């Protein structure tokens, strides 16, 4: 797992060294309206981060996570993650959060596009999944703009603030990602 650089962001792998920075961000307000963010103690969170796999490839099962750091302020403003499931399906689920004070500036979109590229370039995963509650307009828009297809609504597919909620399931297949990349490269060459 490596650091990923974008125009305005540095995506720093979460390790034992910076786990407490992420833990502090996870205590911020307005992160739990649409998603379930676990409330671990500092010690429990540190233990979990320590137990995560270190190398990212499609055979490494578990959670891979990056701190989203704004280049301009050097401030950590959120996180982005990939969770590779243990079903041997060659898929991973992407997740992200940006603290409320830094939303609406395209940071989550910039981070998500970079991690989608990273996931397909550095592994042989064949599909990325995502989900969000129907009311999460920013997340739905982000996923659509990153090339994900809205597949279906799953009734009571998640628990948010202790209650079952419907979720919209999204998928991005490797071949669709390759097609979009090829098209973008052709357009940029034609300019």
- Shorter beta-carbon distance to ligand COA: residue 54 or 141: 141
Residue 33 CB, shortest distance to ligand COA, in Å, is 6
| Alpha-carbon span 80 to 108, nearest angstrom | 8
Counting contacts by CB under 6 A, is residue 26 touching ligand COA? Answer: no
Counting contacts by CB under 6 A, is residue 115 touching ligand COA? Answer: no
Residues in binding contact with ligand COA, number by CB under 6 A: 21
Window 71 to 100, contacts with ligand COA (CB under 6 A): 96-98
- Shorter beta-carbon distance to ligand COA: residue 58 or 109: 109
Helix, coil or strand: residue 173: strand
Counting contacts by CB under 6 A, is residue 39 touching ligand COA? Answer: no
| Alpha-carbon span 122 to 171, nearest angstrom | 19
Window 121 to 180, contacts with ligand COA (CB under 6 A): 132, 136-139, 141-142, 145
Distance from the first to the final alpha carbon of the chain: 34
Nearest to 95 by CA among 119, 59, 69, 71: 119
User: Across the strands, what pairs with 5?
Assistant: 10
- Shorter beta-carbon distance to ligand COA: residue 59 or 161: 161
Q: Quick one: 82 exposed, middle or buried, by C-beta within 10 A (0-12, 13-18, 19+)?
A: buried
| Alpha-carbon span 27 to 97, nearest angstrom | 12
Residue 137 CB, shortest distance to ligand COA, in Å, is 4
Residue 79 CB, shortest distance to ligand COA, in Å, is 9
- Shorter beta-carbon distance to ligand COA: residue 49 or 133: 133
Nearest to 96 by CA among 34, 169, 175, 42: 34
Residue 124 CB, shortest distance to ligand COA, in Å, is 25
The structure tokens listed for 191 are 């300019």
Binding site for ligand COA (CB under 6 A): 31, 34-35, 96-98, 103-109, 132, 136-139, 141-142, 145
């Amino acid at each position: 797992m490596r650091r990923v650089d974008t125009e305005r962001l540095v995506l720093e792998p979460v390790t034992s060294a910076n786990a407490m920075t992420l833990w502090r961000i996870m205590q911020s307000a307005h992160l739990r309206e649409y998603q379930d963010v676990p409330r671990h103690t500092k010690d429990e969170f540190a233990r979990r981060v320590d137990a995560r796999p270190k190398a990212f490839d499609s055979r490494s099962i578990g959670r891979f996570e990056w701190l989203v750091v704004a280049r301009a302020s050097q401030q950590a403003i959120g996180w982005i993650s990939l969770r590779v499931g243990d079903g041997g399906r060659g898929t991973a689920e992407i997740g992200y959060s940006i603290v409320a004070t830094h939303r609406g500036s395209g940071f989550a979109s910039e981070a998500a596009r970079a991690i989608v590229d990273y996931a397909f370039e550095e592994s042989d995963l064949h599909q990325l999944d995502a989900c969000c509650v129907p009311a999460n307009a920013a997340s739905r828009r982000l996923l659509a703009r990153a090339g994900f297809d809205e597949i279906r609504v799953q009734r009571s597919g998640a628990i948010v603030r202790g209650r079952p909620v419907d979720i919209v399931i999204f998928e991005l297949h490797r071949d669709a990602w390759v097609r979009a990349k090829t098209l973008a490269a052709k357009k940029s060459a034609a300019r």
